[in-house]
Amino acid sequence: MIRLCAPGELAEGQSRGFLVETLNLLAVRRDGRVHVYFNRCPHRGAPLEWQADRFLDDSGSLIQCATHGALFLIDSGECVAGPCAGQRLQAVECGEDAEGIWITP
C-alpha cells in the first residue's frame, strides 16, 4: 500500500491532487469518506483540475472537468453531465486509518 497523506491533510468537502510515482490521482473527502480516482477525464484523458487541488464545482458537490465542464458524482465517479455522460472516472482502491490515507495501486 502507498500512503497519500495524513487524514487531517484532506478536510471534509475538499479535494486534492497527488502524483505518486507515475500515478496522477485525485482524492475527495465527502461525508467523512475518502474517494480516490485517476486524475483523467474519460472523454479526452485530460487532467480534471482547474488549478492545483481544485477538482470540485462551485457547489462543492461534484467533480468537474476543467477542459469541457463534465460533472461527476463524488461517491461513484459517474459522469452525470457533459460529453462523457454515463461513463465513469476510474476509481482507485483506498483506505484510511489514524496514520494516513492509503491506496492500493
Domain that holds residue 32: 2-103
Whether 41 contacts 50, CB under 8 Å: no
Q: What is the pLDDT of residue 50?
A: 83
Residue 70's pLDDT is 95
Look up residue 98 and give its amino acid: A
Report the number of distinct structural domains present in the chain.
1
* Residue 29 in grid coordinates: 473527502
List the chain pLDDT tens, one digit each, 105 residues. Answer: 999 999 999 999 999 999 998 999 999 999 999 999 999 999 888 999 989 999 999 999 999 999 989 999 999 999 999 999 999 999 999 999 999 999 987
pLDDT score at 27 = 98
pLDDT value of residue 44: 85
CATH number of the structural domain spanning residue 16: 2.102.10.10
Nearest to 10 by CA among 40, 38, 30: 30
Neighbours of 66 (CB within 10 A): 15
29 membership: H or E segment, kind and range: strand 23-30
Rounded Cα distance between 64 and 71, Å, is 5
